[in-house]
Structure 1
Amino acid sequence: MGFPKNGKIGPRFCQPGATGRPPCPAPLELLIARRRRTSCYFYPRAWPSVRGADWWERVVLKEFGPQDWLEKFRMSRETFFYVCNLLRPGLAPHSAHFHPALPLEQRVAVALWHLATNVEYQTLSPLFGVGPSTVQTCVREVSYAVVLLLKPLYLRLPNEKELENMARIFRARWGFPHCIGALDSLHLPINPPLRLSADYCNGQGWHSILTQATVDGLGQFWDVSTAFPGSMENSAVLESSRLWVLAKEGRLCPNPPKDFMGKAQKYVLLGDATYPLQDWILKPYQEDEKLTQRQLQFNYRLRRAHSVIENAFLRLKARWQILLKCDDCSLELLPTLVLACCILHNVCEAHDNPFNEEWLEGTEPTELPKPCQPAPAAMEDGRAEQVRELMCQYFESCGEG
């Protein structure tokens, strides 16, 4: 099953290679040209007339096979009921908002189905025999419960021992030493809000909210900051985030820092040109400069390792397709929904629930170009250049190409 042993749960207790799963392929391999399927077979073809309680009790619980659970809820039956048990304290059994005959497991099923497929409330409601408003309530309350009860287990700041293990995993899987993660941003499309519309219009001219995330070498999120308006630059989001505060407080590395290449050095995160160079954030050298061979090699190694978060975002959006088009979600709920999807992504990855690459057909990543504003020079840390030089020396000395 892949469940954590010794009562420990959460993404950082997974060991590299323990499941035999290879590293995520590079983004270009995932972005093979695909077209969105024009029809969405919402109801299983074999049971078109079964609805409500009969649907849940006779079909889902008794006749759904492993692929049915994976397709509709994005997780195995075992993981689904494991999640339900964890959410039980946060979902009152007789809430006035819910249909009296709708048990907790059905409420979670309604919410996960909507998050996975982004099917409209009106389309989903007849299948479970409830009204559209009940579907909406299920999505809202289950999302809040996921953040409240699962976030401390699956999306939390690693402790010192876990940071050391994360650095080991990152080096083993991606060939980049002394690194605990990759940092990037995700723009999620929204309808233009009635007020503050300009604030949510990003540099590419479409409306979005901005999420900053950090993943480990396994592609699991360990820091997520969301709800920023799309017009903000990545560097400004970083300065406003908890991650920035944690780094400045020295909470992203042991005290004193571990030795690297004969010097005490903080652990690093890998970013792109939109982030400022810091002694704890590395980014590629500018390509328009005349780079040395080892600087070019550094760029190659960093971009290859940074692809772990690009792949994680692809898998996140493909698995939870509500993030592809957040039209029915209010701006107030959206941050909770994004966090819930990131947490559920970690649950599925940590429990080795299969990922169906056909889900990628719905992502169409080239439709909306990603804003890419370089970080201002004023935010650059001059001392960080020494860290990049150390990394260049490392790759040169070990012959990494």
Structure 2
Amino acid sequence: MELERRRLMKKCILLFAVSLAKRLRDIFKKEYSRRYIFSHSEHPAQKLKKTRPWVKKKTNRDCQSSLTSKFVKELSQDDPLSCYNLLGINHEQFNWLLEKTSPAIQKKDTFMRDALPAHIKLKITLRYLITGDSFKTLSKVSEVPKNTISTFLQECMAALCDVLEDYIKIPDSEAAWNSIEKEFHEKWNFPNCYGSLGGKCVQIAPRGPVGSDSHFDPKHHKIIFFALVDANSCFTCISIESMKQISGGENFENTFFHKDLEINKSHILNNGVIIASDAFPLKEYLMVPYLQSNIYLNKQQVYNYYLLRALRTVENAFGILTSKFHIFERPFTIGIDKIPVLIKSCCSLHNWLKKMNPSYVEPGLEDSEVIVNGVAIPGSWREKEPAALKNVINFRTFETSISAQEKQNWFIDYFFEGCQVSVSDEDMNNHNSLNNIN
């Protein structure tokens, strides 16, 4: 009898617990403005602060279709031009990115509320990179709170980098390196060249009142953006590093990018080289132009012409990047830890769009030249200098090895004696002015 009574009591308690759990679940689902819970304090009914929603109610109702009615119209297949103006890609490219990135950025729904859809996160991220809109502007357009955008933005940019990692990587075979060298020789008349090197100083906006814990002074946090580019102005390798981490000050030998080049220079085959501007030091594998003040022979001027002509590839890459991604139009306002993934995601999208979309680069955007007389025509990207990327600091040193000078003399003799293309003084001065050679 006693055993039967205990079983009945356990069953009643279990039924009561189940009914209580169902009741609490219904209360949370209705999202009352005021919720009460029982605590162990002296006041059993303690009022909680009203929680803020992830998205506004209007967006939450329409999230299964699109952000807002405006986004639905502009992202429809019937209006591909508006989709391109809004996100910088067409509808098919957006669907491909969404399919690849969804497993990484889509969260699971809970009984409290539904997770923000992956397509909304991707649209906001692309919109942020293409237009450079502030979080406040993006919040008004998408009806997603600013704090929510700040939370998932870095995650979405990292997902884009992972999806597009095959479009920006160092060649891992001899055939791939030879393909780059062949294109430089055919397009830019520069033999044994395996890439053009450039660097930019990343500008960061100051934040917070002076003297407070939240104050950020960009003078003490200098970030350098190195890029190695192929003959088609696509990024082969990029490196974003803080000068604060580099020992020895502003010295190229102390950068991580230089250390990587020293380790991997054996992959530069057949006595090949990388070309760079006069801001970098002369190395056996790194050819730089002569300064105008140091030129005393005509063949040195001819060498400068061909090197600066091929160096337009990296200048065009930076120019196209800043023209297409308006996030570079002003100094960065995001956290310093998010800047590397932002730049890498933009470079990955640049390579992907340049290879997948033939109309990605409009006529006249990049530097070109007249085929008949070889006169250089500056691209439209030079009309406006991006505020987020400035010219790199001067890493050049005047201490060079004998082997580096011998390699440079070989190129000087090759261009002056072996090359069949004639160069006039006007052409050389034109290329010097485009590349700011003094």
TM-score (norm 2): 0.67
CA distance in 2, matches of 1:373, 1:270: 16
CA distance in 2, matches of 1:186, 1:330: 19
Among 79, 87, 93, which residue is 1:64 paired with? 79
Counterparts of 1:159-308 in structure 2 under 5 Å?
159=172, 160-192=174-206, 194=215, 197-200=218-221, 209-229=223-243, 236-237=251-252, 239-242=254-257, 244-254=259-269, 258=270, 265=271, 267-308=272-313
On the 8 A contact 2:265/2:285 being kept in 1, the answer is no
Equivalence for 1:387: 407
1:318 counterpart = 2:335: no
Equivalence for 1:45: none
Counterparts of 1:333-344 in structure 2 under 5 Å?
333-344=338-349
Q: Secondary structure at the match of 2:231?
A: coil
Among 167, 171, 186, which residue is 1:154 paired with? 167
CA distance in 1, matches of 2:115, 2:287: 54
C-alpha distance 347-122 of structure 1, shift in aligned 2 (>3 A):
same
On the 8 A contact 1:212/1:238 being kept in 2, the answer is no
Q: Secondary structure at the match of 1:181?
A: strand
CA distance in 2, matches of 1:128, 1:246: 44
Among 347, 352, 369, which residue is 1:347 paired with? 352
1:376 counterpart = 2:391: no
Equivalence for 2:44: none
On the 8 A contact 2:185/2:192 being kept in 1, the answer is yes
C-alpha distance 366-106 of structure 1, shift in aligned 2 (>3 A):
closer
C-alpha distance 326-145 of structure 1, shift in aligned 2 (>3 A):
farther
Equivalence for 1:19: none
Q: Which amino acid aligns with 1:60?
A: L
Moved more, 364-373 or 133-142: 364-373
CA distance in 2, matches of 1:59, 1:226: 35
C-alpha distance 74-323 of structure 1, shift in aligned 2 (>3 A):
same
Q: Secondary structure at the match of 1:274?
A: coil
CA distance in 1, matches of 2:256, 2:109: 35
Equivalence for 1:330: 335
Structure 1 residue 51: Cα displacement: 8.4
Structure 1 residue 183: Cα displacement: 0.5
On the 8 A contact 1:181/1:217 being kept in 2, the answer is yes
Equivalence for 2:431: none
Q: Secondary structure at the match of 1:110?
A: helix
Structure 1 residue 88: Cα displacement: 2.8
Structure 1 residue 316: Cα displacement: 0.6
C-alpha distance 238-338 of structure 1, shift in aligned 2 (>3 A):
farther
C-alpha distance 234-156 of structure 1, shift in aligned 2 (>3 A):
farther
Q: Which amino acid aligns with 2:260?
A: V
C-alpha distance 333-369 of structure 1, shift in aligned 2 (>3 A):
closer
Which ranges in structure 2 are unaligned for 5 or more consecutive residues? 1-64, 208-214, 367-379, 424-438
On the 8 A contact 1:187/1:230 being kept in 2, the answer is no
Structure 1 residue 252: Cα displacement: 3.0
C-alpha distance 59-322 of structure 1, shift in aligned 2 (>3 A):
closer
C-alpha distance 52-73 of structure 1, shift in aligned 2 (>3 A):
closer
Q: Secondary structure at the match of 2:282?
A: coil
Q: Give the number of aligned pairs.
A: 330
Structure 1 residue 350: Cα displacement: 1.3
Counterparts of 1:26-105 in structure 2 under 5 Å?
52-65=67-80, 67-94=81-108, 100=114, 102-105=116-119
CA distance in 2, matches of 1:72, 1:234: 42
Equivalence for 1:120: 134
Equivalence for 1:23: none
Q: Which amino acid aligns with 1:129?
A: E
Q: Secondary structure at the match of 2:181?
A: helix
Cα deviation code 1:30-85 (max 9, x no counterpart): xxxxxxxxxxxxxxxxxxxx9834344444224432x3232222222222222222
Cα deviation code 1:325-369 (max 9, x no counterpart): 244311011111111111111111111252357896797218786
On the 8 A contact 1:235/1:274 being kept in 2, the answer is no
Q: Which amino acid aligns with 2:413?
A: Q
Structure 1 residue 106: Cα displacement: 2.3
CA distance in 2, matches of 1:324, 1:230: 24
C-alpha distance 74-58 of structure 1, shift in aligned 2 (>3 A):
closer
TM-score (norm 1): 0.73
On the 8 A contact 2:241/2:256 being kept in 1, the answer is no
Q: CA RMSD in A?
A: 3.1
C-alpha distance 74-362 of structure 1, shift in aligned 2 (>3 A):
farther
On the 8 A contact 1:51/1:126 being kept in 2, the answer is no
Cα deviation code 1:279-325 (max 9, x no counterpart): 11000123212422111100011011111111110111111111232
C-alpha distance 135-195 of structure 1, shift in aligned 2 (>3 A):
closer
C-alpha distance 319-303 of structure 1, shift in aligned 2 (>3 A):
same
CA distance in 1, matches of 2:255, 2:299: 34
